[in-house]
Each structure stands twice: as C-alpha cells, then as structure tokens.
Amino acid sequence: MDIFALLGVPVTYTPVAGTPVPIQALIAGSLQLQPSGFSSETWAQQYTAEFMLSELPAGSPAPGDTVTYGATVYTLVAPMENNGMLVKWVVA
Amino acid sequence: MADTLIIVPPARIEAIGSGSVMETIQEQIISAFVAAMSVITIANGYNCNAGQNIFRCKKNLDPAELPAVVLWPGIETGERRASGYQYCDMKLGVEAHALFGGANPSIIAAKLLGDLIKAVFSQSITTLADEIVYESGGTDTYPDAGEVAIGAKVTLSVKYYYLIGNPYSQ
C-alpha cells in the first residue's frame, strides 16, 4: 500500500517460532495518560506498530513476536486494530 | 511490619501550608494529611515508598515521580450549629500511583489501597478533625495493553468545625 511505501520503515519481523522476514511497518509513538478514572494520571510513551497482514508470516501476528528497526527491538504486546488488511499492535 | 514508625523525609512534598496563623482550619487539616502520608514507606512496613513523593492536586505525573500519593481536597458541606460553630464535612480524595512492572496491576492496586487506608487510620493525623470516615475506595479502571501505571484511591469524609464566620479558629 502506498502509505507503507511513504511512511513505513524497513523492519525485520521475527515470529516467536519461525523465520524472520523483512517487511515495511508503521511505527508510531504517542503520549498516553494512564490509567484513566483517576484525578491524577501518569504520562508515558506508548508505541504501536502497524503491518500489512499479507506481508506477515503464517501464524502472525502473535504476542511475543518482535519487530527490529535499526538497533531497536519492539515486542508485540496486544492487538489494537485489525480490519483484515492492516493490523496494529501495541509494542513495548 | 515495623514496630516503630520511621519518619523518612519525603523526596518531594508539595503545597504544605506555611504554618502561618492565617491558615484556615481546613488548610491546616489538609496540610496534616499531606505530611502524614510520608509514613508510606517500605521501611515502615508498607507495600511501597509512595510516601516519598507527595503531591497535592497534581493532574499529570511523570513516571519518574512514582510511586506517589496525591491528595485532592473536595467540596465540603456546612451546618450552622446553635452553639456558634460551623460544622463541616469535607471530602478528601487520596490517590496512590505506582508502576506495576511485570506484576498484575490489580494486585498492585490492592496493595496501594491497603497502604492508603493504613496510613489514614493507623496514626493520629490531626486533632483539628472531629472524625475521619472512609467513604469509598478502590480502583475502577485498569490499564490497557502497553500501559505501565496503576492507582488506587480513597474518598474520606473529614468532619471538623470552626467558629461561625471565622474559619481560622475553633
């Protein structure tokens, strides 16, 4: 997809069990206030990684899979969105 | 659990009253609560060191400031007594926040709640208040995936009085 070519970065996607594959990903960081429901909230940086499902290895994405961008390794924590073509996960 | 409370000078205590004689009874009570929360340290037998970072009405916390206690004085109701006193019931919210790391945030929240209740009711905070009542407490919102902080809060009813028209004197 064009947006991945334009804004994506080349990463190595490594399933928990499987062969690493080079793909494009959208990695974004945002400031989150947490947890909600309190008068005081803590701010912390939260990162997400978005992929094209067609580029991922079979069985992925799954918790514990990793995404390596440069020297940084992100671990998939939990899914946020999945519309059948694109999938976005919270990474840490 | 420690037999003797060890008073550790908090790393940060914000917005304690100046001790001026021109502070209202309400302000003196709030300041006493702020100071009293400093007992919440592991050395004193508590679950965390939130007593080393005490704030007042601080909406946004830096992760480096956790664990922390934040006090939220609320609205009070007043009742005029024939004896010449204004009898007040002040709501005081007290929150404790911490990073939960790899632990279950619900377990950490329960520990924070326990620390808050113990800190309020295991010591004599102030003689200016007639009564301190635990009205509610707990955690109703837990972290989403990727979040790092959890909290617990208690709402207290603090009953005190002052001379009608003179909130500085009892």
Cβ contact (<8 Å) for A44 and B93?
no
What is the pLDDT at residue A4? 85
Residue B128 lies in a domain: yes
Q: CATH number of the domain that B135 lies in? A: 3.30.2000.10
pLDDT reading at B135 higher than 90? yes
Residue B5 lies in a domain: no
Of A34, A77, A80, nearest to B149 by CB-CB distance is A34
Could you tell me how many residues make up chain B?
170
**Opening angle at CA B56, ends B55 and B59, nearest 5:** 90
The whole-angstrom separation of Cα B115 and Cα B147 is 22
Residue B70 lies in a domain: yes
| pLDDT, tens digit (0-9, with 9 covering 90-100), for A50-85 | 999 999 998 899 999 999 999 999 999 999 999 999
**Taking the mean position of all CA atoms in its chain, how far away is CA B3?**
22
What is the pLDDT at residue B21? 56
Least reliable range by pLDDT among B1-5, B18-22, B53-57: B1-5
Task: Categorise residue B69: left if φ over 0, alpha if ψ from -120 to 50, beta otherwise.
Answer: beta
Strand B12-13 with A86-91, pairing: unpaired
What is the pLDDT at residue A12? 97
Element spanning B109, H or E: helix B105-121
Find the mean pLDDT for residues B160-168. Answer: 95
Residue B1 lies in a domain: no
| pLDDT, tens digit (0-9, with 9 covering 90-100), for A21-32 | 999 999 999 888
What are residue A9's DSSP bridge partners? A25
Amino acid, single-letter form, for residue B27? E
Amino acid, single-letter form, for residue B97? H
Which of chain A's residues have a Cβ under 8 Å away from the Cβ of B139?
Answer: 37
Q: Which domain holds residue B27?
A: 12-163
What is the pLDDT at residue B1? 45
What is the pLDDT at residue B3? 55
Cβ contact (<8 Å) for B63 and A92?
no
Residue B4 lies in a domain: no
The verdict on ipTM greater than 0.85 is: no
What are residue A69's DSSP bridge partners? A72
- Which tops the pLDDT comparison, A36 or B154? B154
**Residue B7: which of B123, B132, B129 has the closest Cα?**
B123
Interface test with A, best of B61, B95, B106, B141 (most A CBs within 10 A): B61
How many structural domains are present in chain A? Answer: 1
Of B63, B72, B142, nearest to A35 by CB-CB distance is B142
How many structural domains are present in chain B? Answer: 1
| pLDDT, tens digit (0-9, with 9 covering 90-100), for B68-108 | 999 999 999 999 998 999 999 999 999 999 999 989 999 99
What is the pLDDT at residue B2? 46
**Taking the mean position of all CA atoms in its chain, how far away is CA A42?**
22
> Measured between CB atoms, does B150 come within 8 Å of chain A?
yes
SS3 at position B111: helix
Q: CATH number of the domain that A49 lies in? A: 2.40.10
Residue B170 lies in a domain: no
Residue B138 lies in a domain: yes
Residue B20 lies in a domain: yes
Residue A38 distance to chain B (closest CA, Å): 8
Q: Which domain holds residue A59?
A: 2-91
The conformation of residue B100, written as its DSSP 8-state character, comes to -
